[in-house]
Amino acid sequence: MEQPVLADHPGGVTARRPRPRLGKALAPYLLSLPAGLWLLVLFLVPLVVMLSLSLQSCNTATGACVMTWHWGEFGQQLSLYHAQFITSFYFAGAATILDLIVSFPIAYWIAFHGGSKKNFFLLMLLVPFFVSFVIRTVVWEFILSDQGIILGTLKNAHLLPQNFHVLATGYAVVAGLAYNYLPFTALPLYVAIERIDKRVLDAAYDLYATRRQAFLRVILPLSVPGLFAAFLLTFVPALGDYLNQQILGGTSNTMIGTVIQNAFLVNLDYAGGSALSAVLLAIALVGIFAYARLLGSRTIEDYI
Amino acid sequence: MSAVVTAPASAGTGQAPRGAPRRRRWTRFVLPAYSWLIIAYLVFPIAVMILYSFNKVTTGLPQVSFAWNGFTTQWYQQWKDIPQLTSSFWLSIRLALAATIVATALGTLLALALVRYRPPQLRGKGFLEQVMFLNIAAPEIVMGASLLGLFVTINVARGFLTLLLAHVAFSIAYVAITVRARMAGFDRSLEEAAQDLGANAWVTFRKITLPLIMPGVMAGALMAFALSIDDFVTSNFVSGAAVPFPVWVYGATRIGIPPQVFVFGSAIFAVGILCALASIVVARRQT
C-alpha cells in the first residue's frame, strides 16, 4: 500500500529536465489563452466600448462620434424611452411567469415518471429549436392572424365577432415570447427536479405527509435553484427580445430591444443606443449577480 | 411498516413510492395528458409551417397568404427560385461550419485548462469562469449592439468576418462548458501510462486524450452549430452586406414571406429531427 510510485510524485522524474517543466508551467495558460483572448477582445472590450460610446456625442448623419463625457445621454434616453422599458418588463415578466407555471408539471412528470422515454420527451421539449427562431415567430403570426386557421375558423363559425383580433396586441407578443422561451424554462426545471433524491420524498410519505405537503414542503423547496435558473434563462433574453414584438405586436407596444435596434441600425445614434444597452445590461446584471451570489455562477453549467 | 422495509429498493430503481390510489390518478392520467398537450402545443407551429409550405399562392406575388388556398408542391420544385434566399442559406451553412470549427477548437482547449488546473497553476481561473457565466447570461442584444459599437469604432466593414468573430464569441463558453461536463469521469492515469511508455505530449493528446473526450467535443460542436445557424439577434447587428438566413427572413417579413422560406424551414427541421432521432436510437443500442 505504501510503496512509493515515482509518477505520483509531482515533478518526480520530469523535475530534472528544465524544458518540460517550463512547458508544464505554461500549459494552463497556453490552453486557455486563445479562448480567453477571444472573449476579452470580442466580449469584454465591446462592453467597455459601449460604455465609452454612451458618453460620446455622435453626429447622427455620419455616425462619427467624439468623446465628450456627456453623462446626460442616460437621463435623456431614459426620459424618452422609460415607457418601452416598462413594456418590456411587463411582457417578459408575463411570459416568464406563464412559462414557469406551464412547464413545471411537465418537467416534474418527465423527471419522476418519464421512465425509459425520458430522452424522447426531452427531445420533444427541444423540438421548437429545430426550426429557426425567426420562422417560428413568423408562423405564430400566421396562426394568430385575423383570417388564419384559428381565428378565421372561429369567425366563420360565428363564435367570434368579425372585428376580433389578437395580432398587434400585447397578448400576441406575450404568446410569442412564452412559446419561444418555453424550452429555456422547462429544461432547467427538469434538471433540478430530476436531481431530487427520491428517497427524501419516500421519507416524507413514510412520515405521513399528504401529497400536498410533500409537494409544498419537499419538491417545491428543492426545485428552487431550477426555478431561479429558469427565471434567469427566460426573463433576461425575453427582456431584450425585439423580434416577437416587431412581428406579432404591430407598431404599438414597442419594447426596448426595438428602440436599441433602431438607434443602432436606423438612426445611427450610437451614443443613445449604447446608453440604452448599458441600462438594459445593468438591469440584467442585477439578476445575474443575485444568481451568482445565491447559487454560484458555475451552477448555470448544469442548466444549459 | 412495509414501506420502511421496501424504501431502499424503491429508491434504487428510481420509482416513485407506492402510495394511495388517489395519487395514481394524477400520475397515470392527468399529468401524462397534460404533458402530451404541451408537446402538441410545441409541435403545432411546426406542423403549421410544413402545412403552409404546401399552400397555393393566388395573388401572383411571391408571398404566402394567411388564408389557405389549396395544396401544391410547386414551392418544393421551385425551392431555389429566390436567389437571395438560397445564397443567404448557404452563407449561414458556411458561417455555422466555420464558427463551429473555431469555437470547438478554442472551447475544447479552454475546457482542458479549466478541468485540469487550479489557481496556483492557472491564475485568473475564477475570473475566466465569471466571464463565461456573464457571456451566457447577458442579454444577446447587448452583445450584438456592443459588437457593432466596436466594429464601428475601429472601422471594420461588416460582413462574413465580423459575423464569424461574433458567432465564435457567443459559442466558446457553451462549447467549453459542454466539453468540461463530459470530462468529469476522465481517467488521467491513462495519460500518465502513455507518457511512462515514452509518448510525448502531442502523441499523448492525439492517441489518448482526444479519443476519450471526443463525445464531449462532438456535443460541444453540435451546440456551436445549432447556436450559429439559428442566431438572429447578434447577426442582425453585425451582418452588413453578408446576410445570413435568419436575417434575410426577418427582412422579408416586412414585404411578405415567400413560400420557399417555409420549404427551407421544413427541410432544416426534417434533417435536424432525423439526426436527433438517430442519435437517440444509437444511444439506446449502446446501453
Q: What is the pLDDT of residues B198-237, one digit of tens each?
A: 888 888 888 888 888 898 899 899 999 999 999 999 999 9
Judge: B142–A240 Cβ closer than 8 Å, yes or no: yes
Which of A130, A147, A212, A283 to probe the B interface (max B CBs under 10 A)?
A130
Residues B99-110 pLDDT 10s: 999 999 999 999
Share of chain A above pLDDT 70, in %: 92
Average pLDDT (B178-202) is 85
Contact B42 A124 (CB under 8 A): yes
Q: What is the pLDDT of residue A8?
A: 45
The residue ranking higher by pLDDT, A184 or A153, is: A184
DSSP state of B176: H
Q: Do B265 and A49 touch (CB under 8 A)?
A: no
Indicate the Cα dihedral angle B197, B200, B202, B203, nearest 10°.
-30
CA A202 to chain centroid, in Å, comes to 34
Per-residue model confidence (pLDDT) at position B15: 46
Phi, psi of A57 (to 5 degrees): -105, 130
pLDDT surpasses 80 at B129: yes
List CB contacts (< 8 A) between B253 and chain A: 134, 138, 141, 246-247
Q: Is B55 helix (H, G, I), strand (E, B) or coil?
A: strand
**Banded pLDDT at A184 (limits 50, 70, 90):** very high
Chain A interface, mutation test: which of B146, B279, B287, most A Cβ atoms within 10 Å? B146
The answer to whether the CB of A139 falls within 8 A of the CB of B49 is yes
With a cut of 60, say whether residue A54 has pLDDT above it.
Answer: yes
Q: Do B45 and A143 touch (CB under 8 A)?
A: yes
With beta carbons less than 8 A apart as the criterion, state whether A107 and A189 touch.
Answer: yes
The answer to whether the CB atoms of A32 and B27 lie below 8 A apart is no
On whether the CB atoms of residues B141 and A242 are closer than 8 A, the answer is yes
Closest Cβ–Cβ partner in B19, B149, B249 for A138? B249
pLDDT over threshold 50, residue B163:
yes
Choose the most confident range, by mean pLDDT, from A56-60, A103-107, A201-205: A103-107
More confident residue, A90 or B117: A90
Q: What is the DSSP letter of B180?
A: H
Task: Please compute the mean of the pLDDT values over residues A275-291 and round it to a whole number.
Answer: 92
Mean of all residue pLDDT scores within chain A: 86
Helix axes B2-13, A198-206, angle to 10 degrees: 160
For B106, nearest residue in chain A (alpha carbons)? A35
Cβ neighbours of A66 in B, within 8 Å: none
> Which of A135, A165, A207, A274 best tests the B interface by mutation, with the highest count of B CBs <10 A?
A135
- Closest by Cα among B176, B170, B182 to B233: B170
Nearest CA in chain B to A10: B192
Q: Which ranges in chain A are annotated with CATH 1.10.3720.10?
A: 74-302
Measured in angstroms, the CA of B260 and the nearest CA of chain A are apart by 12
CA distance B92 to B231: 9
Q: Which of the listed CATH numbers 3.50.50.60, 3.30.379.10, 1.10.3720.10, 1.25.40.10 matches domain B83-257?
A: 1.10.3720.10
Where residue B23 falls among pLDDT bands split at 50, 70, 90? low
B245–A contact, CB cutoff 8 A: yes
| A224-258 confidence digits (pLDDT tens) | 989 999 999 999 999 999 999 999 988 878 999 99
CB-based contact (8 Å) between B274 and chain A? no
Angle between the N-to-C axes of helices A224-240 and B140-153, in degrees from 0 to 180, rounded to the nearest 10: 40
The secondary structure of A108-161 as a DSSP string is: HHHHHH-GGGHHHHHHHHHGGGGS-HHHHHHHHHHHHSTTSTTHHHHHHTTSS-
Residue of B3, B110, B121 with shortest CB distance to A206:
B3
Closest of B241, B246, B245, B239 to residue B164, by C-alpha = B239
- B247, B232 in Cβ contact below 8 A? yes
CB-based contacts of B75, cutoff 8 Å, min separation 6: B53, B54, B259, B260, B262, B263
Chain A residues in contact with B32 (beta carbon < 8 A): 109, 113
Which of the two residues, A267 and B169, has the higher pLDDT score? B169
Q: pLDDT tier at B94 (50, 70, 90 boundaries)?
A: very high
What is residue A14's predicted lDDT score, i.e. its pLDDT? 47
CB contact under 8 A, A46 and B147: yes
pLDDT at B14 over 60: no
Per-residue pLDDT tens over the stretch B58-72: 887 778 888 788 888
pLDDT digits (tens, 9 = 90+) for B238-253: 998 899 999 999 999 9
How many other CB atoms sit within 10 Å of the CB of residue B245? 30
Q: Quickly state the pLDDT bin for B287 (edges 50, 70, 90).
A: low
Q: Are A140 and B45 in contact (CB under 8 A)?
A: yes
What pLDDT is attached to residue A138?
94
Q: How many CB atoms lie within 10 A of CB A253?
A: 21
Q: Answer yes or no: are the C-beta atoms of B146 and A48 closer than 8 Å.
A: no
pLDDT tier, B21 (very low <50, low <70, confident <90, very high otherwise): low
- Residue range A192-217: average pLDDT? 89
Facing residue for A237 by CB, picked from B22, B107, B140: B140
Cβ-based neighbour number of residue B34 at 10 Å: 15
CA–CA dist A287, A228 (Å, integer):
10
- The one-letter amino acid code at A300 reads I
What amino acid occupies position B264?
F
Rounded distance between C-alpha atoms, residue A282 and residue A289, angstroms: 10
Cα–Cα distance between B194 and A211 in angstroms, integer?
55
Classify residue B159 by its DSSP letter: S
The pLDDT assigned to A20 comes to 57
What pLDDT sits at residue B276? 85
A61-77 average pLDDT score: 79
Q: Are B172 and A35 in contact (CB under 8 A)?
A: yes
* DSSP codes, chain A: -----GGGSTTTTGGG-HHHHHHHHHHHHHHHHHHHHHHIIIIIHHHHHHHHHHTEEE-TTT--EEE---THHHHHHHHHHHHHHHHHHHHHHHHHHHHHHHHHHHHHHHHHH-GGGHHHHHHHHHGGGGS-HHHHHHHHHHHHSTTSTTHHHHHHTTSS-TT---TTSHHHHHHHHHHHHHHHHHHHHHHHHHTS-HHHHHHHHHTT--HHHHIIIIIHHHTHHHHHHHHHHHHHHHHH--HHHHHHSTTSS--HHHHHHIIIIIS--HHHHHHHHHHHHHHHHHHHHHHHHHH-GGGGGGT-
The overall average pLDDT reported for chain B is: 86
Q: Cβ contacts of residue B167 below 8 Å, gap of 6+?
A: B95, B96, B99, B103, B227, B228, B231, B234, B235
- Give the number of other Cβ atoms within 10 Å of residue A99's Cβ: 26
Interface touch A281/B138, C-beta < 8 Å: yes
Q: Chain A contact for B269, CB < 8 A?
A: yes
Rounded Cα–Cα distance for residues A20 and A10 (Å)? 13
- Tell me which of B134, B196, B266 to substitute to probe the interface with A (most A C-beta atoms closer than 10 Å): B134
All structural domains of chain B with their residue ranges: 19-76, 83-257
pLDDT at B139: 94
User: Which residue type sits at B88?
Assistant: S
pLDDT of B9 over the 50 cut? no
> Is A275:A77 a contact under the CB 8 Å cutoff?
yes
CB atoms within 10 A of CB B277: 12
ipTM value of the model? Answer: 0.86
Fold for the domain defined by A74-302: MetI-like fold (1.10.3720)
| Chain-chain contact of B109 with A139 (C-beta, under 8 angstroms) | no
B267 touches chain A (CB under 8 A): no
Q: Name B71's bridge partners.
A: B55
Tell whether B172 is within 8 A of chain A (Cβ).
Answer: yes
Is there a contact between A30 and B208 (Cβ–Cβ < 8 Å)? no
Q: Is the pLDDT of residue A116 over 60?
A: yes
